[in-house]
A and B are shown apart, each in its own frame.
Chain A
């Protein structure tokens, strides 16, 4: 049995990791665009 509180924490980690990776990709895309123009 996996406790609900653990799933709850893991979900926060899940959403946070999605936000972090999307922001990181956005920053790198912006830098790449700036470097080309």
Chain B
């Protein structure tokens, strides 16, 4: 992508980078293969024997949270639009705190293995099927996006062709996830968490010291006071609805739910998941903002991003001129031109962090940073892969194909699912590589169908309201699809936010018109608080 920079890189610098990456990938494989020795039962493979202490749950939750988008993507966004980008990412971490405090102990207490089992116990078979489909759509989309991110990140950072990076990185992830299941995923997550925190934290502190602290960096002419203004690029409505969409878009997605299931007990689940949210809230937004602003202060980063922006504009010119010619209203045309420019600036901004690493850091720190960024992406990919295998095994094979299957058979199903899903997602990642679009799509459809069932289940569950919840699970995604595709998301309101609001309205109407309360349900028998027995 930025060949001139690669050409300038000294042999020693390049050797440092590649050596660090090779050591890191080797370490992941070693940990993953060792974990295979601890897999004896299906529970070991899917929920790590439910024996993880809170600090391990914290590390694996945080490592899963921080993917390619939250690292390279949002450093680029901070570079382009300033502090607003860092502020909206707080929503991700706040939802983790909410999940940890209110939902994680209940989920751990119920002894579940998949999200669909929670929905089944509260709302019945139809809701379970919707949950299985929603979970599969989310996991497949997220897996393809993270596989594509492995390629994009490695190509941006190391100049290795994206296709080879997808195949190599994908092979490593698939191999350790297949043999070691969630145990391997958790252990590699811990290594990835340490590398990520040390890399991003160390780099932000070093860069700030280099620029003479925040007062020095803020005084830099390329940073400016506008970078600290929340509404300099986004309207207040857009800021609020994006915050809402981020808050709901990842709530209780399978990779986080599994972090609740693997905890040693309810307390470990609460402290681990909420602790991960608190840590990320304190650590990540400011660190990414610092890296974004430090990128602005580096002339070389500015040059490379500007060059990329001009290349994007040139390559898209013909297609866009055709699209603009079809718009007759001058005002609408001006809006579309501004959208194109904004999209190009956003995409070019993704280069900021990789160029910053290469031009500013000493070779050894650049090597650590490269490993940190690749760690961020791989730790998200392996979680999706593991959850997908568990869902196929528990929600599809055990329920619909062979309810009497023994552990050996179920392990075979999970491992083959991991291999197949890994290979197919790598192939899809070679075809569809637009990470942001894939992620936006799956976030938009998760929240409207799945957030409300969890919130109702945790706070105001009544058995007779199950039909209302099922109606909301169907209506929410449909409303999202109409808002997104038919109406093209008007009024700056994100489709996921609209769909979640619509689902809530359908639920309230359903409570009024569908089903009537019968006899009061005895405490503990309605599934609201630690419902169900510990699953063997």
Contacts and interface: CB of A to CB of B under 8 A. Distances in A.
A5 B213 CA distance: 10
A15 interface: yes
A7 B228 contact: yes
Given A7-B286, A25-B194, A14 B204 contact: yes
Interface string A1-37: 1111101101101110111011011001000000000
Nearest to A13: B282
A3 B214 CA distance: 11
Interface in B211-236: 213-215, 218, 225, 228-230
Contact of B282 (A5, A14, A24, A28): A14
B290 interface: yes
Contact of A8 (B59, B200, B214): B214
A3 B228 contact: yes
* Residue from B55, B59, B197, B283 whose CB has the most chain A CB atoms within 10 Å: B283
B201 interface: yes
A32 B230 CA distance: 45
Contacts of A21: 58, 197, 279, 283
B290 A11 contact: yes
A25 B214 contact: no
Interface string B156-194: 000000000000000000000000000000000010011
A17 B198 CA distance: 11
B133 interface: no
B55 A11 contact: no
Contacts of B200: 18
A8 B282 contact: no
B405 interface: no
Contacts of A10: 286
A22 B194 contact: yes
Nearest to B231: A1
A8 B214 CA distance: 6
Nearest to A1: B229
A15 B59 CA distance: 16
B215 A4 contact: yes
Contacts of A22: 194, 197-198
A18 B285 CA distance: 13
A2 B83 contact: yes
A24 B197 CA distance: 13
Nearest to B280: A17
A5 B214 CA distance: 8
Contact of B201 (A1, A15, A24, A28): A15
B208 interface: yes
A23 to B, nearest CB: 11
B365 to A, nearest CB: 15
A25 B208 CA distance: 25
B205 interface: yes
A15 B204 contact: yes
A35 B283 CA distance: 31
Contacts of B446: none
A24 B279 CA distance: 13
A11 B228 contact: no
Contacts of B58: 21
Contacts of B205: 15
Interface string B45-83: 000000001010011000000000000000000000001
A14 B55 contact: no
Contacts of A7: 83, 214, 218, 228, 286, 289
Interface string B76-96: 000000010000000000000
* Residue from B58, B197, B229, B286 whose CB has the most chain A CB atoms within 10 Å: B286
Contacts of A1: 225, 228-230
Interface string B367-384: 000000000000000000
B66 to A, nearest CB: 12
Given A14-B286, A17-B279, A8 B198 contact: no
B475 interface: no
A14 B197 CA distance: 10
B131 to A, nearest CB: 33
Given A7-B214, A7-B286, A25 B230 contact: no
B305 interface: no
Contacts of B286: 7, 10-11, 13-14
17 contacts: A1-B228, A1-B229, A4-B218, A7-B218, A7-B286, A8-B215, A11-B204, A11-B208, A11-B287, A17-B279, A18-B200, A18-B287, A19-B201, A22-B194, A22-B197, A25-B190, A25-B193
Given A7-B214, A21-B58, 11 more contacts: A2-B83, A2-B229, A2-B230, A4-B228, A7-B286, A8-B213, A11-B287, A13-B282, A15-B201, A18-B283, A22-B194
Interface of B: 53, 55, 58-59, 83, 190, 193-194, 197-198, 200-201, 204-205, 208, 213-215, 218, 225, 228-230, 279, 282-284, 286-287, 289-290
* Shortest 9 CB-CB contacts between residues of A and residues of B: A18-B201, A8-B214, A14-B286, A17-B282, A10-B286, A4-B218, A15-B205, A11-B286, A2-B228
